[in-house]
Amino acid sequence: MSERTAVSGDPRTIMTGSVRGENADVITFEDFKKAKLKIGEMAIGMLRAGTLTSPDMQAPLDQITGIQQQIASLEGEIGQKRAAIEVIKAEDQAPKEPTAPTGEPAAPPPQPSASRFCPQCGAPAGAGIFCTQCGSKLA
Ligand SMILES: [Zn+2]
């Protein structure tokens, strides 16, 4: 809503009714703006229904229609982004289950080759499966 629609002067409070002040209804500027908005909405509805025709009002009506289409388009984008956020949230929560530690390490422990000895001959065993000295299979 443009401020250009404000009436001139300082109309924040408009006094109606008795000038003497008794039973005077105080209409706030907000009420005034709401009343103008209501008339505007009614005019838009009438223009669209064809019950009101005014060439002068066609341009602002088209402008309003364009703005409403933009709003609808942006609301669609917001909906899509919210959906994307929900997907990201779901993805953030999902991996916690599979990666949770089960007590058993997934990879086998590294072979302590230096401290291993052949059970058959007692020779220091290498990193291989079989003893390099006697060829026995290392446990
Ligand atoms: Zn051996």
pTM of the complete model: 0.40
Going from the Cα of 137 to the center of ligand 1, the distance in angstroms, rounded, reads: 8
Q: What percent of the chain is predicted at pLDDT more than 90?
A: 37
**Which tens digit of pLDDT belongs to each residue from 10-32?**
555 555 544 545 555 677 889 99
Going from the Cα of 136 to the center of ligand 1, the distance in angstroms, rounded, reads: 5
Q: Average pLDDT for residues 107-118, to the nearest whole number?
A: 61
Where does the pLDDT of residue 113 fall: very low under 50, low under 70, confident under 90, or very high at 90 and above? Answer: very low
Going from the Cα of 16 to the center of ligand 1, the distance in angstroms, rounded, reads: 111
Going from the Cα of 111 to the center of ligand 1, the distance in angstroms, rounded, reads: 17
Q: Measure the CA–CA gap between 111 and 16, rounded to whole angstroms.
A: 95
Residue 46 has pLDDT above 60, yes or no: yes
Report the pLDDT value the prediction gives residue 18, as an integer from 0 to 100: 45
Calculate the average pLDDT of the chain.
Answer: 78
Sketch the domain layout of the chain as residue ranges. 7-53
